[in-house]
Structure 1
Amino acid sequence: MNLVGLFFSLLAIIGWSAYPTLVSKFGGNSIQGIFWATWGTLIVATILLLVRGLSVPTGVDFWLSVASGASWAFANVLTIAAFSLKDSAGNILGSSKAMPISTAFQISANVLWGVIMLGNWPSFTAKLLGFLAVIVILIGAYLTTYQETKTEDNNALLLKAVGILLVAQIGYSLYGILPQYTSNGTDGMHMFLPQAIGMAAFGLLLGIFDLVNNHHNIFVDKITYKQIISGFFFAMAAFGYLVSAQPEMLGLATGFVLSQVSIVGATVSGIIVMKQSKTRREWLVISIGLVLILLAAAVTSFL
């Protein structure tokens, strides 16, 4: 296995494990959480363009890439809003519960689109194994939400989060789908900068909206600048995954599977950092759910 590719994949795992937890830890609203993730990505994309001397897509390819990035930013701000939800006692839902559900939705939606619209998994056996894997992913996501003691308040909060994450999935799906309609030869490395422009533009517009509509100036709020740290981890992850998924490194399938390991880090770190108490049985069930998501994701990637 390519050790350099493995190193960059490790950067993606660390970055995506830390990002949602740090966003929750630093607090602020969802717009503050997204702002530096988008601008950090733009900075990294610009540096990559200059160092590698990459060309930028033009015409329709450019705008599809920009729209793809903006769609991701739309989805991510909703995802942050979901794990920032609080119950009547002021307890935050947290990334440890929201992220596995979001990951399950993303994998399931990408799989369905690939099979129905792009002709992936042409054989009956591949389709059967693939759809069984999707069911396992959804079961795994459900297990990660397990609580020994349930209340109506907990259930209502989780249902609200699921609703928000379903809407967010529209953005995540467009993020992956729109690049499929660019010209042949427009790979992820060349699309990275225009995608980052779309992300950063959406983040900036959200900041301006918050200022005008809510009289909340995120640009002078110290919490926003704490989120620079979370933005750094996200940008590191985006860059690491982009490099590791290149054909000469690990390739798309292996790079994708390894990136899914981050859901384990995001869930466990979310529980520990946010000091969410879990019983031994809850830890066991959550761990089983995470393993199911990872194994099923591996199956879908190699069909």
Structure 2
Amino acid sequence: MWGIQPLILQTIGGKTSNQQMGMSLGALIFSIGVLFFHQPVWSWHLILASFVCGLAWAFGQITQIESFHIIGVSAAMPISTGMQLIGVTLFGIFYFHEWTSTMDYVYGISALIVIILGVFFTAYREKGDNSGKQGAMQRGLFVLVLSTIGQVTYNVIPRMADLNGWDVLFPARNRYGNRCNGF
């Protein structure tokens, strides 16, 4: 459902701040519902990582929503997705050292080149485009770069904080002290 979110936001309409507030309230309601099934095991480590992660998410989302208003969803989403894939991949390569073999580099660099070409062709405008559209595209790309910083940060913080997916989504332990891996 995450990929359809921009289309829903544009269909519903509203200002950027209203759309962000709606998404945040939806996430809060979902989280409160989860508390009925999973009681979290709170730690300062989890709280701090979650707080920083939430700040990065909020920044990334509000700037991404703003880019939808500037250049439209059909132009912003492929560029945003491509930049996020590139950013997270670069973190995986240089910070987490996930590429270890020659074939990792061959396949990975090939995939990154395809993604970069896709982003370039999505962002490319013909020379005949008027300067107003070109100015909007430049502003939209700048806002998308800011969004990407937030979105990539949001994605790598859990890994940097050594939290697994269940820690991030549903931090809980069962009555025996073991981690729960589902409902």
How high is the TM-score relative to the length of structure 2? 0.83
Partner of 1:61: 46
Partner of 1:83: 68
Q: Distance in 1 between matches of 2:97 and 2:143?
A: 29
The 5 Å alignment of 1:61-210 reads: 61-85=46-70, 93-145=71-123, 150-183=129-162, 186-192=163-169
Q: Distance in 1 between matches of 2:43 and 2:125?
A: 50
The answer to which structure, 1 or 2, has the higher relative contact order (CA under 8 A, 6+ apart) is 1
> For structure 1, which runs of at least 5 residues remain unmatched after alignment?
1-14, 86-92, 195-246, 249-303
Aligned length in residues: 172
Q: Distance in 2 between matches of 1:28 and 1:123?
A: 48
Q: Distance in 1 between matches of 2:114 and 2:4?
A: 25
Give 3-state SS (helix, strand or coil) of 1:119's partner: coil
Q: Deviations over 1:54-84 (max 9, x none)?
A: 4244112221122102211111100111110
> For structure 2, which runs of at least 5 residues remain unmatched after alignment?
172-180
Residue identity matched to 2:165: G
Q: CA deviation at 1:174?
A: 1.4
Q: Distance in 1 between matches of 2:43 and 2:93?
A: 29
Q: Distance in 2 between matches of 1:187 and 1:48?
A: 17
Q: Distance in 2 between matches of 1:109 and 1:140?
A: 15
CA RMSD, 1 decimal: 2.2
Q: Deviations over 1:5-24 (max 9, x none)?
A: xxxxxxxxxx2233101212
How high is the TM-score relative to the length of structure 1? 0.52
